[in-house]
Structure 1
Amino acid sequence: MNHKIRVLEIRLNDRYKDYPALYHYKDIDREQIFVRRECEYYVKDGIVYEQVSSALEDDRFVLYVNKIGDDTIDHNARVRENLCVEVREYRRIGEQKLLKIYDCRDHMDVLGYIGNTFIYIEGKEYKRSSVEADEDRQTYILYVNDTGTVLE
């Protein structure tokens, strides 16, 4: 693998339109590329996309996405100045209770939170449902479900 690749392209998963590029990022940190590949959802310009696959080409990493709708997070939520992970309990579309915000130094810290099946908050166990990269708010969102397990 070419360790110098620092390009990420997000393409619409539409073979009839020859997989058009929606977004192109040059000179992006590889850690940020790997974190985004870990995300099932991607929000940009108020639109939610679902990642369906990823690929490594000769000179770039590519994420293929399907447009699935409009962003449902409260748009009055503040845009973060620092890199962070919001943990939200996912109940149904439009209902995501904020449980915790983790400030992160870098994308390796982000991966440390989103790369787990389970996370524990205030003595309760939650299971990862999905992860979203919300570019509009500059935030990663870890969606979780309460497992009902309480640590003693």
Structure 2
Amino acid sequence: MTTSLEYRLFKGNNSSEPLFHYEQIDLQQVLARRSCDFYVKEGIVYKQTSSAIEGDWHVIYVTKEEEGEMEKEEFNINDTLQLEMRELNGRANHPILKKIEFDHHIDILSHIGSDYHYIDGMEWEKDSAEIDEDRRVYVLYLIKTGYKMEGNRK
């Protein structure tokens, strides 16, 4: 099922201005995007403040968080959806813990919607999620809890 999505820059005092439009977008992708705390486009990091449905349009309201250089798109030979699981550690440039590829946005939503993840037997707690359109990747920022999983689960 396809729908439409608009990102709007929230300016305070109940005012906003349109930023980006997606006329034909899969509903699963809208839901995955709406679950992201941050949205990166053209080198600018936006923070989601709220979302709405206005008739046939889905709307995500954002504020400008920071501006930087536009990062280069990741090369994706399989043309799949990419999820980077990163340690929340700005001093170390948020090191990648794990990369996963998916075919459907519902799989991305399943991961970014979960509060706890287990990587190499260690438990990690979700801090935030973002969609980075510049690099065409979803990113999940995690904090190590110190809990180690017992047993054979991965």
TM-score by length of 2: 0.88
Q: Which residue of 2 aligns with 1:63?
A: 60
Q: Cα–Cα, structure 1 residues 57 and 83, in superposed 2: closer, same or farther, change >3 Å?
A: same
> Gaps (5+ residues) in structure 2?
none
Q: Which residue of 2 aligns with 1:40?
A: 37
Q: Which residue of 2 aligns with 1:125?
A: 123
How far, CA to CA, are the matches of 2:29 and 2:3 in structure 1? 10
Q: Which residue of 2 aligns with 1:22?
A: 19
The alpha carbon displacement at 1:150 in A equals: 1.0
SS at match of 2:32: helix
The alpha carbon displacement at 1:71 in A equals: 4.8
Matched, 1:83 2:81: yes
Q: Which residue of 1 aligns with 2:100?
A: 102
More strand by share: 2
- State the superposition RMSD in angstroms: 2.2
CA contact (8 A) 2:73 2:134 kept: no
Matching residue's letter, 2:35 = E
How far, CA to CA, are the matches of 1:139 and 1:122 in structure 2? 22
CA contact (8 A) 1:72 1:94 kept: no
The alpha carbon displacement at 1:91 in A equals: 1.6
Matched, 1:134 2:153: no
TM-score by length of 1: 0.89
Count of matched residue positions in the alignment of Structure 1 and Structure 2: 148
SS at match of 1:20: strand
Q: Which moved more, 1:108-117 or 1:35-44?
A: 108-117
Q: Which moved more, 1:10-19 or 1:55-64?
A: 10-19
